[in-house]
Structure 1
């Protein structure tokens, strides 16, 4: 799998860099050389993937993960800029000089309460209630690092101009950083962004669609405290407002577009039952397929909060915690990468791989399809997002509207 991923990455890099002067014969020779180098780095990649898995750090807390990855890159001659965009665990590693400038990125944060023993096809936390890499964010940056080191060797040998930049998606589960990277100028001189994310497929998408845009908003209600038994009439419960907002939202769901996805958690529900909560808060994710519909969903959320505050004689404030535009990915780079994916194909799965996949699918009570083995067609651009679509979000979308970008989906998932 590592070889196939990196060969796809190399072709996309060469296309993005405009290295059209290399003959087909020379390109084939370079690829063959690269394949041998990659095979020799398989153990290094495995160690990095397992190490990041063991750190399992939540968004904005990726301290050990960042220390570990930047130490590897620094040792290999990359210049490290830490604390990028004012985010303590964000960094950019740079090697080379001149054009083209190719930026390789992948996320490094994990998920709350997703601790899991590796290689076990059933739920088995390493530590109860601890965070874990339930979305596979432990694999992307290690693969990018191996890719960068392999390409770096070839660039040095062939005396190819260009700059490699590596950067991590910090706090991606909260969609909290990539827009700040853009504002801070991280991609100002970048010619192409090659992003990688774990998947059950081996594919890449072109154009718009395939992701939802999102706004992450916390609503904070303020009321008046009182003893819940001795003088409840003196209180104005902020928690009542939170609950009424949620009830209102759930009734409104029936009349929202099928494409929308919205979810919430009560982030502050008060202190103890015998005290009327004077403050409480609820955290919402509003997802839709395009900007206008995301903004409309957010507006409805604000209206629900206003109604809940009016009913409970409380007040509220809100703050945006994160956001993401729906992605819009480069057609030429996606076409080049997809052509190379078709050439190298899926990994040759072992019988153990296949048995593990089937066991896990049975455990999760999902269709038992095993592991994918056939490369699908490149998803072509769609002028209008499907009203019946919807799904996940990734703030790589913010970058894709500023720099030619693709997301390579590599098959390290089931």
Structure 2
């Protein structure tokens, strides 16, 4: 789908309304972690892992869809359910392409889900940003770095100059912006003047014009870096992009009514002890798991939008009425994009959180299947409030294509070792059983982090 090999769409039913369920499935580099162990213990050293908890969301959406499908069959209800995965969300690299492909042109409502640490939803602009993720590649000419460096032109110099130039310009950018970069290709070895080098930037801001301006500034600095280094700016590639999200008030209010009916999981003493041990491990407040529901967060003012994160669900939210269910399968206070955020996955915490999330999502899905007035109201908000003064224009250009080669080498390096840990549901009742993890496993009194029985662990 949309030129992305791991993307797919599953559809069941017929007629209207058509309700689309989406959630992310990707992971984080170097975040491998043994689940159920409240200290750093990689499954495969250096390998990717679910340091955002994205492996829990599809359980929510599929369970909700199957439950509502059964009800629709039993009651003879019209309607269509669609499910799809957010591929490479950490690179914000796919959802704009889904939109461009026309995947949502006949969709009435999108119910998105994302792992969190409470059962919640919100409406209006998200507290975070949108962004453009762009790769700047410079081409120079190689030479012997010791014997005849004057005959070369270093593409790595251009990369360094661009980074320095951006950091000088940073002082004169709005305080609301965020920007960060990594050198993606800095050359092969020091004794060869690098003929090719690349630097990868994320440009984050609060609205479309400001995001676009950051990208234009970055492009101008890249051209200046090429001029100073005697190289050529060979390519400027948009790897990914995300509009700042805007979630639908009607959907969020209906969803929150169901959240209140479902409530939070009943956490056990072991769940709380495990959560507090994980929080202690990363040096945050040992609050344990949430025991009170979050409020329905209303629309934020511009001044209240102070977070720096982005998600390409934003592009979908400007094309069809959308709201996000956050479900409590993870532990509060963790760093995010970190091995600690993978610890709760496959534990009772994740299972309980996903179950409550699936119930709330199923109830919301059913509401919009059987109450056409809710669909109409959601579209009225979408057309006459959300989009009254804003016109969606994608950041990706007609020539841009999904960066499906990104991270391929990492997966090739680790796939064989990671496959040894794939879950075998025919042989084991749970993934923790397969791994030999007794829940909860905490750091041992002597400070070691190993798999052991509960009785061997300290508090």
TM-score by length of 1: 0.77
CA distance in 2, matches of 1:372, 1:247: 43
Match of 2:253 among 330, 335, 338: 335
1:276, distance to aligned residue in structure 2 (A): 0.1
Helix, strand or coil for the counterpart of 1:352? helix
Q: Which residue of 1 aligns with 2:57?
A: 140
Give the Cα separation in 2 of the matches to 1:354 and 1:366. Answer: 15
CA deviations on 1:289-340 (whole Å, 9 max, x unpaired) are 1111111211221122122112211111311111110111111010111122
1:351 aligns with 2:256: no
The reply to whether residue 375 of structure 1 matches residue 293 of structure 2 is yes
Aligned to 1:89: 6
Pairing partner for 1:110 from 10, 18, 27: 27
Q: State the alpha-carbon separation in 2 of the partners of residues 164 and 388 from structure 1.
A: 33
Cross-structure match for 2:326: 409
The answer (yes or no) to whether the contact 1:258–1:389 under 8 Å persists in 2 is no
- Deviations along 1:356-411, one digit per CA (max 9) or x if unpaired, are 111111111122222112112211123x5237613111110100001110111111
Aligned residue for 1:62? none
Q: Which has the higher contact order (CA 8 A, sep 6+)?
A: 2
Does residue 310 (structure 1) correspond to residue 310 (structure 2)? The answer is no
- Where in structure 1 are there 5+ consecutive unaligned residues? 1-83
CA contact (8 A) 1:258 1:387 kept: no
Distance 2:86 2:171 in 1: 34
Compute the RMSD of aligned alpha carbons: 1.3
What is the 5 A alignment of 1:228-239? 228-239=145-156
The CA distance in 1 between the partners of 2:305 and 2:191, in whole Å, is 46
Give, in angstroms, the shift of residue 347 of structure 1.
1.0
SS of structure 2 residue aligned to 1:168 = strand
Native 8 Å contact 1:239 1:280 kept in 2: yes
Q: Which moved more, 1:251-260 or 1:140-149?
A: 251-260
Q: Which residue of 2 aligns with 1:196?
A: 113
Q: Secondary structure of 1:233's match? A: helix
Runs of 4+ with deviation above 6 angstroms: none
Cα 1:240/1:121, change in 2 over 3 Å: same
1:210 matched to which residue of 2?
127
Partner of 1:175: 92
Separation in 2, partners of 1:200, 1:267: 33
3-state DSSP class of the match of 2:280? helix
Q: Which residue of 1 aligns with 2:421?
A: none
User: Structure 2 CA distance, aligned partners of 1:365 and 1:257?
Assistant: 31
**TM-score (norm. length: structure 2):** 0.70
> Does the CA contact (< 8 Å) of 1:290 and 1:385 recur in 2?
no
Post-superposition Cα deviations, 1:85-124, rounded to whole Å, max 9, x if no partner, equal: 1211111001110111111110111111111101111111
Aligned residues: 330
Which whole-Å CA distance do the structure 2 matches of 1:153 and 1:354 have between them?
35
CA distance in 1 between counterparts of 2:304 and 2:118 reads 24
Q: 1:182 is paired with a residue of what secondary structure?
A: helix
Is the CA contact 2:134–2:238 (under 8 Å) kept in the aligned structure 1? yes
Structure 2 gap ranges (5+):
332-459
Q: In 2 relative to 1, CA 246–387 (structure 1 residues): closer, same or farther, beyond 3 Å?
A: farther
Question: For residue 286 of structure 1, what is the aligned residue in structure 2?
Answer: 203
Aligned-partner SS, 2:307: coil
SS of 1:160's equivalent? coil
Q: 2:169 aligns with which of 235, 238, 252?
A: 252
Q: Is the 8 A contact 1:209 1:326 kept in 2?
A: yes
Task: Provide the secondary structure at the position in 1 that maps to 2:55.
Answer: coil
Q: In the alignment, which of 127, 139, 147 is matched to residue 44 of structure 2?
A: 127
Residue 281 of structure 1 deviates from its aligned partner by 0.3
Aligned to 2:307: 390
| CA drift at 1:129 | 1.0
Aligned to 2:412: none
Describe the SS at the equivalent of 2:133. strand
Of 158, 170, 178, which aligns to 1:261? 178
Corresponding position of 1:399: 316
Partner of 1:158: 75
